[in-house]
């Protein structure tokens, strides 16, 4: 099989490419390196079955050529991370919506399967957990830029499902719930790598808000396994599927677990949302997936424990030896 992965030099994309190459598939990566990194795919570059293009989706001629040459397109390219979303809402909306539209348009000419990466963010302020794929999406007002990411990804989903309904363009939409693991950067406000980097450097771990907000963290290996099982399934086409772990933890307790697992002396500090992001910043208290649909389709449930995930991320940063924090800040909000 020949796979095109947009955002292929990113965190999830590089892990997916790695697994596909191990299976003997051919992989083409398209990434403009706005949030991805060559370091993520450096170990794959010697493979004869890997090609990569350092360019953007907006290069329509290149995109059409790459889509035409692929059997499956995995669309992971997106603006991600709370910090980026709050600071660059125009970039967030344009990158997500325009990019998805261009990919679907190119794929629809020859009805190539497109897997669209969405996010648990689309559930917004819905408090009815666990979130099922048919749950209502409850977003905040348009005056709060924080919701632009969720709105843009929801529009991606509407667009993808409309292409399936109207044009019979095969699509699968997956909603990621805080995928984490080695190679994930804290640059745009990803909570776990930031906590771990601060813990390893024995600097303060900053928890935004009260720390009582809770999340579920899914090991990137489990996320990739779910993708590999879904893509061959005809019955997954036209469906929206949650991908996540159901082990729930408060952000405050996450900080304590990270501190304990790394044997760190870092103090835990609490920072109000208004100071961390912008006045009136809104967050959701819980985000827990229902993964019954994923299990019924694939027989698979992500089950890597949080302690193992923390240990894997810690080992990655220790091996990398780069604990320079630069302008990164630890945050209690993860997209």
Per-residue pLDDT reduced to its tens digit, 272-314: 877 766 666 677 889 999 999 999 999 999 999 999 999 999 9
Residue 147 pLDDT > 60, yes or no? yes
Which tokens hold the place of 34? 């706005």
Domain shared by 153 and 233, yes or no: yes
Domain shared by 103 and 118, yes or no: yes
- Report the share of the chain in percent with pLDDT over 70: 91
Note the pLDDT of residue 329. Answer: 33
Domain shared by 58 and 201, yes or no: no
Domain shared by 171 and 188, yes or no: no
**pLDDT-wise least confident of 68-77, 94-103, 186-195, 301-310:** 186-195
Q: Which of residues 79 and 280 earns the better pLDDT score?
A: 79
Note the pLDDT of residue 85. Answer: 66
pLDDT band at 55 (very low <50, low <70, confident <90, very high): very high
Residue 114 pLDDT > 80, yes or no? yes
Report the mean per-residue pLDDT for the chain. 91
Note the pLDDT of residue 280. Answer: 63
Note the pLDDT of residue 272. Answer: 84
Domain shared by 224 and 199, yes or no: no
Domain shared by 212 and 158, yes or no: no
Domain shared by 63 and 206, yes or no: no
Residue 220 pLDDT > 80, yes or no? yes
pTM for the full model? Answer: 0.92
Which tokens hold the place of 22? 């191990």
**pLDDT-wise least confident of 9-18, 136-145, 164-173:** 136-145
Distances (CA, A) of 186 to 11, 61, 269, 320: 11, 33, 18, 14
Residue 330 pLDDT > 80, yes or no? no
Domain for residue 335, yes or no? no
**pLDDT-wise least confident of 90-94, 168-172, 199-203, 295-299:** 90-94
Note the pLDDT of residue 275. Answer: 75
End-to-end CA distance of the chain: 31
**Domain span including residue 28:** 2-179+219-243
Residue 326 pLDDT > 90, yes or no? no
- Helix 220-230 / helix 11-22 crossing angle, nearest 10 deg: 60
Domain for residue 293, yes or no? no
Domain shared by 9 and 115, yes or no: yes
Domain for residue 308, yes or no? yes
Residue 3 pLDDT > 90, yes or no? yes
- Report the share of the chain in percent with pLDDT over 90: 79
Helix, strand, coil percent values for the chain (each to nearest 5)? 45, 15, 40
pLDDT band at 323 (very low <50, low <70, confident <90, very high): low
259: which residues sit within 8 A by CB, 6+ positions away?
199, 205, 266, 268
Is 149 noted as a catalytic residue in this protein? yes
Domain shared by 45 and 186, yes or no: no
CATH number at residue 187: 3.90.25.10
Note the pLDDT of residue 276. Answer: 65
Note the pLDDT of residue 121. Answer: 92
Which tokens hold the place of 64? 């059409």
Residue 231 pLDDT > 60, yes or no? yes
Note the pLDDT of residue 333. Answer: 33
State the burial class of residue 329 (Cβ atoms within 10 Å of its Cβ: 0-12, 13-18, 19+): middle
Domain shared by 230 and 251, yes or no: no
Catalytic residue among 149, 163, 273, 277: 149
pLDDT band at 81 (very low <50, low <70, confident <90, very high): low
**pLDDT-wise least confident of 151-155, 195-199, 326-330:** 326-330
Note the pLDDT of residue 84. Answer: 64
> Residues 244-257: what's their mean pLDDT?
98
């Amino acid at each position: 099989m020949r796979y095109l992965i947009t955002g292929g030099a990113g965190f999830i994309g590089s892990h997916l490419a790695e697994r596909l190459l191990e299976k003997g598939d051919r992989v083409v990566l398209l990434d403009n390196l706005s949030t991805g990194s060559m370091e993520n795919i450096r170990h794959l570059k010697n493979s004869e079955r890997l090609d990569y293009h350092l360019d953007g989706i907006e290069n329509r001629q290149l995109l059409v050529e790459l889509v035409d040459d692929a059997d499956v397109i995995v669309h992971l390219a997106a603006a991600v991370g709370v910090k980026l979303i709050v600071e660059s809402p125009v970039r967030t909306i344009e990158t997500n919506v325009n990019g998805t539209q261009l990919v679907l348009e190119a794929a629809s000419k020859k009805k190539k399967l497109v897997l669209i990466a969405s996010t648990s963010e689309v559930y917004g302020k819905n408090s009815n957990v666990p979130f099922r794929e048919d749950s209502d999406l409850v977003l905040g007002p348009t005056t709060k830029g924080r919701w632009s990411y969720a709105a843009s990804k929801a529009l991606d989903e509407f667009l993808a499902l409309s292409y399936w309904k109207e044009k019979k363009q095969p699509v699968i939409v997956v909603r990621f719930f805080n995928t984490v693991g080695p190679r994930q950067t804290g640059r745009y406000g990803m909570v776990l790598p930031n906590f771990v980097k601060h813990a390893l450097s024995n600097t303060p771990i900053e928890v935004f808000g009260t720390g009582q907000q809770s999340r579920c963290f899914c090991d990137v290996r489990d996320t990739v396994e779910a993708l590999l099982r879904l893509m061959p399934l005809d019955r997954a086409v036209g469906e929206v599927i949650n991908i996540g772990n159901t082990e729930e933890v408060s952000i405050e307790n996450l900080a304590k677990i990270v501190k304990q697992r790394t044997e760190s002396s870092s103090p835990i500090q609490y920072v109000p949302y208004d100071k961390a992001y912008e006045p009136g910043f809104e967050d959701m208290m819980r985000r827990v997936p229902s993964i019954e649909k994923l299990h019924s389709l694939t027989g698979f449930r992500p089950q890597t424990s949080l302690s193992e995930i923390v240990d894997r991320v810690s080992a990655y940063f220790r091996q990398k030896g780069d604990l320079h924090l630069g302008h990164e800040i630890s945050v209690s909000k993860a997209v």
